Structure 1
Amino acid sequence: MCNIEKCQGLPLVADMETSSMISCLGVKIEFEVEPKNISFEHILLYRKDFRILTLANKSLVPLIWHFLGVETIQDDFTVSDTEGLLMPLNKQEVRFDFSADEVKPYFKRQLKLEVFDEEGRGESLFTETITLSAEAIDVMVDVLFGNEGVDYIDFGKVKVGNEYQQPFQLRNKGKYDIVCKVEVEVPTETSVPRLDEMISVLPHTGTVVHGEKPFQMLLATSLTSDRPTEQRRCGYGWCVVRQLCTLQVS
């Protein structure tokens, strides 16, 4: 409202009144990170694995985020995203990859997550420390035969229809227990039919604990041929250990 009055000998005076609407919406910042500890446990040499970190903006306003210290983990891990804008009530997944390119003892690395308003002003609204841990290991298994310096099993002369057994051992020189499976593979050029059915491993699976105590196994044969025969290096054993690592054992 504006009232103007003219007074004798005085200049014009304006008496003005104004009004305006002021509103304010208060928002509570809610930001979640899951998980805070990313563990790759132990990964076999030359293998790769990944983990997912989930960022959740549970606020009603957009938020920007970024990692601090990415350069300190780049020799060990790769990160799909290092910063971003997260809209209200949305989630974002960040992928961490680890490659076991060389044997590495157990180690930890840390990243700091900072969250700001959409303009990136002032101090961070939310912070969290992300811990990453991993270990790159190798499988070291020795195959011990009956005679030192011999890398095969010799049954010698056997009688058709009788069963014969020869022992051998697996020694786990690694850091962790492994699960093994031994299978017999017969070359296609062998002259004895169904030779794979005549040779078996007892037991064919088992857990080989780490340490000096070897795992005892038996290679058994029972020939059913109707005529004398001679075979040299006729079968090969394959030891399949945890996480699909394979090695020839005889």
Structure 2
Amino acid sequence: MRKMTYSFKSENKPVVLLLHGFLGSKSQWNTVAAALEKRYDLLFVELPGHGASPSISEYSIASLALEISQQLLQQGIEKVHFVGHSMGGYVGAAFAKEYPSQLHSLTLVNSIAGADLPGRKQMRNRAIQLIDRFQDAYVSMAINNLFTKEEHESHQAIIEAMKVSAKNMTVKSVLAALRAMRDRPSVWLDDAVRVNYLYGDRDTVIDKSLIEKEIKTQGLKGLSFTGGHMLLLTHPVDLIQNLRFVD
């Protein structure tokens, strides 16, 4: 049984795979997708328990990368430009490590290839302990933290819509995602695959210093924007203009 749902229409153009983050869905790519669809075939993927994907109790980031690899083979897709936001980027990094022959490029949006630091693991463990009793409060708080103060003022409708959608997720789905993110290993990326980091300089979920350290250590490329953790919603035009595979 597949853990994720896929939406794809082939017109024999280069393929861009779009994978959202924790508490998100494929609809968050709508603005980006509208700018890409004339020149690329778009493959939308939804994480387990998110959007239309089934709710399952346990999986790993590596298992999602494997499923995507198998799905590409079944669809007859040789290579993709993988664009992953946050948790979707964790899957993208795992995919780049294990299946580089199926990859044209990897774009990590508000994401890193490294594992959770101890403090982040502790935060996820606290959420896991409390989620049964306080799911709605946790989801609301978690989503609030994805946006800067200025973005709360300018994107209020988008934030509320994300909360409504995320509150439809089951406790099982939220727990499984938290554990998968907590337990993922670090991935070393190099210039064998084209990698580009796009990140917010006010991101309180993944601090820019962690991303910039990865970029420097691994000899990769990246670009920051004045924003928080949800650039695909708050800065879609900037993302479109800075996707490295877009001429």
TM-score relative to the length of structure 2:
0.21
Structure with higher RCO (Cα < 8 A, 6+ apart): 2
More helix as a share of residues? 2
More strand as a share of residues? 1
